[in-house]
Amino acid sequence: MYGRWNWRGLVAYFGGFTAMIPFFSTGIYRGPVAEALGGADIAMLVGLPVSTVIYLIACRSLARSTSRRKFAWSRLRTRVSIRTPERLWLVAGTRFANYRLSLAA
């Protein structure tokens, strides 16, 4: 987790920052929308929702892959035969072998 870069967060950050540029009103730069609003700096009111939307769209693939893994795991658990000890099943759910349990005396 630490020491790595989250590309979804970086894309959302830079997308929001880019959307804020026309709304900037600073001593160095005044954007065209800020100029039309008489110098009002509403950049954060625009940048935060834009960043949020970009981040949520980017994280949709993450939620899908997590739910797919959970669904696959639940299907795997139902396919593994636990009740019949003479059958062994592979992780993929195919029959590996048919063993009979016998105790040698």
Least confident of 34-43, 50-59, 95-104: 95-104
Q: pTM score, two decimals?
A: 0.57
Asked if 88 contacts 96 with a C-beta cutoff of 8 angstroms, the reply is: yes
pLDDT at 46 > cutoff 70: yes
Going from N- to C-terminal start, the domains of the chain cover: 7-98
| SS3 per-residue string spanning the chain | CCCCCCHHHHHHHHHHHHHHHHHCECCCCECHHHHHCCCCCCHHHHHHHHHHHHHHHHHHHHHHHHHHHHHHHHHHHHHCCCCCCCEEECCCCCEEEECCCCCCC
Quick check: 67 pLDDT over 80? no
Give the confidence band of 85 by pLDDT, cuts at 50, 70, 90.
very low
pLDDT tens readout for residues 17-31: 999 999 999 999 999
